Structure formats: structure tokens, C-alpha cells
């Protein structure tokens, strides 16, 4: 694939990459009344973490755990307003990862949980978020990462559409792929319309005939900038007749609550979801892996950014 540089106004970068943090409160480790909870939780967390095979999740969760930066807390918002964890960033460094005791079912008195494995993968999800947020300037320029993420979005959309619609031809699939790439750049990267078309022209240079056939349709879809608009684009471009509301319902049913929030969120949650869902993370409904090979490639591209994360001392 040819390299193509995606451009952004500097004022847009935070909106592109950062999902808004939930209203978390966390339990102070120095507070005597939480000592038993933290002692038991930390012991169980460390034991399970030590038994995991050597993979990136173990490596980077250990980086956080060994620095004593994993905290327990409560998301004070309702379930449909927040995530199971929060990252705290201070002075461009990761200060805390706070896990929600409600979602992860941690007993506030004893520190016991049946979901210690999910606590570890929730920590990895959050660490990935911090890697995106703390490296936002570099990630906005990473064309290889953008390409893999666009591919994943395309496969995800195909999975949802195939359960409700008939996709009969390769041309249909190629048009849907172009649309998914278009939405990736417009929604996750907040790229301008004209620049998006130029980028896609380079990406699909090996399918020039198909791209040129679709190209007149861009003027019909300029107004669309969200994932939820994909069914409307399919209708307006006469590719497929599908129900826009049913599309969203199907995403919720297939990927469950936190998968839906991650996919319809911002770039940090989308990347964190793609990578962490390759692990046995029950909270993310792991039965819906789209493409493990693609997830591995995305994780590998994220490793240099994870290595760059600095920690509060």
C-alpha cells in the first residue's frame, strides 16, 4: 500500500483520539478501611498475572501493576454512560488505571472477585487507551495503522450486514469496503471530505476501475460522517437496502454493550477494543472476534506506542 499522509488541524487532534472520561471515584490505597480489599485483590491479581503466557497483555499490564498504578473505584454514572475503567493522565504520564468494582464484581470489603482475569484484561484495555492518548500526534500520522483499522471496520460491518442482508457480488463488497474506509477517516480521524477522497484514491489504486465507478457517489455521501450513517450511505448509493435502526440494534446484539460503546466511540476505544477482544475478556463478549490475524497485526503496530508510555513516579 502506498503511504499517504493524513492531515489534521492541531486543534482537532484531541477530539479525534480521546474519548471523554467517565465520572469515576477511586479508593485510596493509604486509607485503612480499604487495606484488606487491596491486599486480597493485589495478591489475586499478581498470582493470575504471573500464570499468563508471555504476550503483550501480560507485559504491559505488569508494567502498570509493578508500579502500583492499578486502583479500584466506582463509576458514578449509569451503565449506559461510562466504561468499566478509567485512565488518569498527569503531565503526559500515566498516573492511574481505575477499575470499576461494580462491572468487575470486586467485593469492596474483601477484595475478592470471580473475574480477576477480566480485571487484568480491563487493565490492558485501559493501557492501550493511554498509549493512543499519549501518542496522539504520532498515531494521527500512522498510515499503516489506519489501513488495518479500516480493514477491521470493513470486516465488522460485513459481519453485521451479512446477518440481515444479501450481499451477492464482489462489486457490492468492494463498494462497501470503500464506504467503510471513507467512514473510518471521516469519523475516527475527523478528516475533511476532500482529503478523505484523495487518501482513498491512493489506497484503492490497485482497484482503480471499481473506485472510479464509485467515485461519482461521493458527492451523495459528503454529509455522512458517522458509523451509524453506513446504512444510509448504502441506501443512497443503491448498493443495499437495509434498515438503519436495525443496523444499530444488530451491532448491540452482536457485540454487546461495551463492544457497541467501543465501536461507536472514539479512536482510543476502538483500538483498545480490537486488540483486547482477542484475549479471553468476557466483559467484551469474546465470541465475536472478527479476524485474529488482523488483531495481531494491529497489536504489533501498537507495541511501539505502548513502549513509549511514561509513568508518574
How many domains does the chain fold into? 1
Taking the C-alpha atoms of residue 260 and residue 58, their distance in angstroms, rounded to an integer, is 25
3-class SS of residue 223 = coil
Mean pLDDT across 161-188: 89
Does residue 290 belong to any structural domain of this protein?
no
| Predicted confidence (pLDDT) per residue in 228-240, tens digit | 999 999 999 999 8
Mean pLDDT across 136-160: 95
Taking the C-alpha atoms of residue 56 and residue 53, their distance in angstroms, rounded to an integer, is 9
Does residue 260 belong to any structural domain of this protein?
no
Does residue 78 belong to any structural domain of this protein?
yes
Does residue 36 belong to any structural domain of this protein?
yes
Cell triple for 212: 472510479
Does residue 44 belong to any structural domain of this protein?
yes
Helices (H), 24-86: 35-51, 56-65
Domain membership of residue 73 as a residue range: 20-134
Does residue 161 belong to any structural domain of this protein?
no
Closest CA to 36 of 107, 119, 117: 107
| Predicted confidence (pLDDT) per residue in 241-287, tens digit | 888 898 999 998 889 889 999 999 999 999 999 999 999 999 887 66
Share of the chain above pLDDT 90, in %: 76
Amino acid at each position: 500500500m502506498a503511504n499517504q499522509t493524513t492531515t489534521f488541524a492541531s486543534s482537532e487532534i484531541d477530539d479525534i483520539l480521546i474519548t471523554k472520561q467517565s465520572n469515576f471515584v477511586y479508593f485510596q490505597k493509604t486509607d485503612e478501611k480499604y487495606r484488606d480489599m487491596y491486599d486480597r485483590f493485589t495478591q489475586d491479581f499478581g498470582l493470575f498475572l504471573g500464570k499468563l503466557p508471555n504476550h503483550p497483555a501480560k507485559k504491559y499490564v505488569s508494567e502498570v501493576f509493578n508500579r502500583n498504578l492499578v486502583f479500584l473505584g466506582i463509576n458514578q454514572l449509569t451503565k449506559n454512560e461510562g466504561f468499566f475503567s478509567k485512565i488518569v493522565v498527569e503531565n503526559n504520564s500515566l498516573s492511574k488505571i481505575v477499575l470499576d468494582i461494580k462491572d468487575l464484581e470486586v467485593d469492596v470489603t474483601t477484595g475478592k472477585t470471580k473475574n480477576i482475569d477480566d480485571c487484568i484484561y480491563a487493565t490492558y484495555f485501559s493501557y492501550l487507551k493511554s498509549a493512543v492518548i499519549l501518542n496522539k500526534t504520532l498515531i494521527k500520522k500512522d498510515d499503516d495503522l489506519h489501513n488495518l483499522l479500516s480493514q477491521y471496520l470493513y470486516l465488522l460491518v460485513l459481519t453485521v450486514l451479512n446477518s440481515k442482508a444479501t450481499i451477492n457480488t464482489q462489486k457490492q463488497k468492494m463498494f462497501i469496503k470503500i464506504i467503510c474506509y471513507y467512514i473510518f477517516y471521516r469519523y475516527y480521524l475527523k478528516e475533511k471530505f476532500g482529503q478523505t477522497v484523495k487518501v482513498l484514491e491512493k489506497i484503492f489504486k490497485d482497484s482503480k476501475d471499481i473506485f472510479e465507478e464509485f467515485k461519482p457517489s461521493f458527492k451523495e455521501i459528503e454529509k455522512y460522517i458517522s458509523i451509524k450513517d453506513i446504512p444510509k450511505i448504502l441506501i443512497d448509493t443503491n448498493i443495499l437496502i437495509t434498515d438503519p435502526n436495525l443496523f444499530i440494534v444488530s451491532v448491540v446484539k452482536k457485540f454487546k454493550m461495551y463492544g457497541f460503546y467501543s465501536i461507536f466511540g472514539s479512536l482510543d476505544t476502538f483500538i483498545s477494543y480490537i486488540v483486547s477482544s482477542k484475549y479471553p475478556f468476557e466483559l467484551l463478549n469474546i465470541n465475536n472476534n472478527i479476524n485474529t490475524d488482523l488483531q495481531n497485526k494491529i497489536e504489533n503496530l501498537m507495541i511501539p506506542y505502548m513502549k513509549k508510555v511514561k509513568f508518574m513516579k
